[in-house]
Amino acid sequence: MRLPFPTLRANLIAAFAAVIALSLLLASGVFFYLLREYQVDYERDRLERQAMFYASEVYRLAVAGESLSSIAGQLDQSTADTGARVLLLDANGTVLHDTSNNQLTGDTFVIPPTAGRRPNVFQGPVSTPYGDEVFTVVAFRGLLPGLRLAVTAPEQTLTNAWRDVLPRLSMAALSALLVSIVIAWWLASAITRPIVQITRASEEMAAGNLDPHLTLPETTDEVGRLSKAFTTMAREVARSHRAMRDLLANVSHDLRTPLTSISGFSGALVDGTLSGPEGAREAGRIIGEEAERMRRLVEDLLYLGRIEAGDVALQRVRVDLAELARAVQSRFLFRAQESGLRLNVQAAEPAVVTGDPHRLGQVLDNLVENAFKHTPPSGSIDVTVSLEPTRAPSRAARAAYQAVVTVHNSGSYIPAEEVERVFERFYQVDKARAGSNGRGLGLAIAREIVQAHDGRLLLESSRAGGTSFSVRIPALEPAALPPIPSSEPARPAEVGAARR
């Protein structure tokens, strides 16, 4: 449906104003209906009060010995100030005096049959001998015997009494509408201001500025959640763009070195610089090693892309992470002795999860390999496996227990601002060691594998305590576990090297 105005703010203000005007119209209609009945009752009561007042005046004058003509004159004088029309009647209804220029004097006036609100008072519409409809109140109380007093008013005076307050009510309704429009304008502005900022930021992002400046309100309503979601999206887009830029730069760098070697040695073979069988074999060996290096890099990139896209089929069998940790110790023990590092594995109790043993073993290999690269001589690497009850609800907290594997190494430190970027492809905390410690995909692959098992890969680092990577995966309850056949899982064919 096409909106009548070009901007959201104008449409919101128009919608608010229309709803408010309709509400005021409906409320005014109901109010006028109720007011009309109230005003008619009020006029009838006022006529009764006038009738009782003039009846008491006539009685006072008659007791004082005033003649009928004197009483009539004083009634004329009194009603001239109030605008009331008073009739003096005898017992037969004959009009003795009419304060309205004696128009009905001598005529017979019908007494209304309906009793009023007060004793000895009757009221109702009456037709005059001239055909006029008047509302009449006749008082019997407080008068001399055989004397009646009637107060009349045109019938339309009662039915139109509510119109007297119509101008004031209209002014009040107009004022309320104007105030409501001002409030609607403010409310529409408050709603559309974040949307305008988001639109402007989207245009900036489309123009190439992936980090637009936003000052969005932190609220819990729909607009606040939209603002928060857009801010998160903008941050993720900027991070992804930075990661893609770093990826291209690092892939180009990592491919340049082997390509240079391949180009150089192949050129040497062609131009005869490397002569003889020994030179040819050496060139072939180097070309083969560099080609294998590029192949592994490309395979790791393709594998990481498949994991992120969810195209890697994982085995779903019971795996004891404690047994995987002990297998890692046997594979890396000789390297630890050569490097002068202490490798300790604490995995006394089973920690059984449902997953792929080959991929989970690859995660542990990557984390331990990463620890070896960043642990100084005479340092230590500690691998701890434990089973913990789930503490807080989360995406990975669908089980009562979680298996926790922690790989800690001493002597290394990762600044807080670098923690999240450590898991990006090719990212390195120590730029001086770039290109000397593997392809930089190990941690990215490890995190994707852990997330594919509904787990989390966490990082903690401090200058005094070193660096710890913790793998947390939903585990089976110990009481429900049958014995697992003891067999060392197959060692991963490729261990992605991790760089920070």
Q: How many domains does the chain have?
A: 3
Q: What is the model's pLDDT at position 498?
A: 39
Predicted pLDDT at 497: 37
pLDDT, residue 111, reads 80
- Residue 101 contacts by C-beta under 8 Å, 6 or more apart in sequence? none
Distance CA 345, CA 199 (A): 54
Give the CATH number for residue 301.
1.10.287.130
Please indicate, yes or no, if residue 127 is contained in any of the structural domains. yes
Range of the domain at 412: 317-480
Per residue in 483-498, is it b (16+ CB within 10 Å) or e — as a string?
Answer: eeeeeebeebeebbbb
Q: Which 3 state secondary structure label does DSSP give 405? A: strand
Same domain, 67 and 157: yes
If asked whether residues 353 and 471 sit together in one domain, one would say yes
Q: Same domain for 433 and 459? A: yes
Which residues have C-beta within 8 Å of that of residue 72, sequence separation ≥ 6?
Answer: 88, 96, 97, 99
Residue 200 lies in a domain: no
Q: Which two tokens stand for residue 182?
A: 């001002």
Residues 248 and 365 in one domain: no
Q: 175 in a domain, yes or no? A: no
Q: Which residues in the chain come in under a pLDDT of 70? A: 1-6, 8-9, 32, 34-36, 141-144, 155-166, 217-218, 246-247, 249-251, 253-254, 274-275, 308-311, 391-399, 425-440, 479-500
Q: Are residues 327 and 350 in the same domain?
A: yes
130 and 160 in a common domain:
yes
- Asked if residue 109 lies in contact with residue 98, where contact means CB atoms within 8 angstroms, the answer is no
The CATH number covering residue 329 comes to 3.30.565.10
327 plus 474 within the same structural domain = yes
| Cβ burial, residue 347 (10 Å; 0-12/13-18/19+) | buried
CATH, residue 12: 3.30.450.20
Q: What is the pTM of this model?
A: 0.48
Cβ neighbours of 81 (radius 10 Å) = 7
- pLDDT computed for residue 100 by the predictor: 85
Give the containing element (helix H, strand E) for 319. Answer: strand 317-320
Predicted local distance difference test score (pLDDT) of residue 143 = 63
Indicate if 148 and 25 belong to the same structural domain: yes
Residues 136 and 153 in one domain: yes
Residue matched to tokens 């603002």: 227
Q: Domain end: 131, 164, 197, which one? A: 164
For residues 393 and 437, membership in a common domain is answered with: yes
With respect to residue 389, please indicate whether it lies within any of the assigned structural domains: yes
- For residues 112 and 39, membership in a common domain is answered with yes
57 falls within a domain: yes
In a domain, 188, yes or no: no
In a domain, 172, yes or no: no
- List the beta bridge partners of residue 405: 385, 471
254 and 152, same domain (yes or no): no
In a domain, 494, yes or no: no
